[in-house]
Amino acid sequence: DTEVTQTPKHLVMGMTNKKSLKCEQHMGHRAMYWYKQKAKKPPELMFVYSYEKLSINESVPSRFSPECPNSSLLNLHLHALQPEDSALYLCASSGEGFGNTIYFGEGSWLTVV
Amino acid sequence: DAKTTQPTSMDCAEGRAANLPCNHSTISGNEYVYWYRQIHSQGPQYIIHGLKNNETNEMASLIITEDRKSSTLILPHATLRDTAVYYCIVRPPLTYNTDKLIFGTGTRLQVFP
């Protein structure tokens, strides 16, 4: 089973709203990732968690707040977003050791109005 | 991070082999070559990866040149469902808590009947 589950699949939110994207995996992976993908562009790395600790933040604005409550869950809290933040948000996970495959979820489509 | 160069787009007739090239002339000795594909509106799907030797799985074959400066992904019998953007990615050396995938622009493969 190589499944990474993301919810919701679609989210529309106003610029003053607070919402969250959720990601879950049950593969025992200890690294989890958030990527952002704009239309017709490649995915861009946002955050990496390793053993439930934030290890990489690719200079992401503070209106995006990641959280890793346990080794199976990864959240992305959204607050005061801008319309240009509308994108596909992808979660991924990987096991231990160099060369281990990174598996992606199907993504959450976010529209900020 | 080692950069990759791929053609922007390619066409392939259904049933024929699709050969997707990738140049990674600055690859380091301990960096893997990964291939992912992304079908429209879905999350990236892992295809195959390799270090030095050629690799084959149920989806594709990966041919890496002896000097490791380029590789070719081969889909032996392309189908319409293989129409997607294919990403060749060089995975940076793993240092503590910094494992990640950096996507380039990819090749848009169009399989036609």
Interface test with B, best of A9, A24, A53, A101 (most B CBs within 10 A): A101
- Nearest by CB to residue A42, choosing from B51, B97, B103, is B103
Residue with tokens 């390619």: B10
Question: Taking CA A91 as the corner, what is the angle to CA A90 and CA A94, rounded to the nearest 5 degrees?
Answer: 135
Min Cα distance B22 → chain A (Å) is 16
Whether A96 and chain B come into contact, CB under 8 Å, resolves to no
Residues, chain B: 113
What are A26-71's pLDDT values in tens digits? 999 989 999 999 999 999 999 999 899 999 999 999 999 999 999 9
pLDDT in the model for residue A47: 95
Token pair for A18: 């607070």
What are B73-109's pLDDT values in tens digits? 999 999 999 999 999 999 876 654 567 788 889 999 9
Token pair for B93: 């050396």
Contact B1, B33 (CB under 8 A): no
Work out the average pLDDT over B61-67: 96
Token pair for A54: 């934030």
Question: Taking CA B105 as the corner, what is the angle to CA B100 and CA B108, rounded to the nearest 5 degrees?
Answer: 125
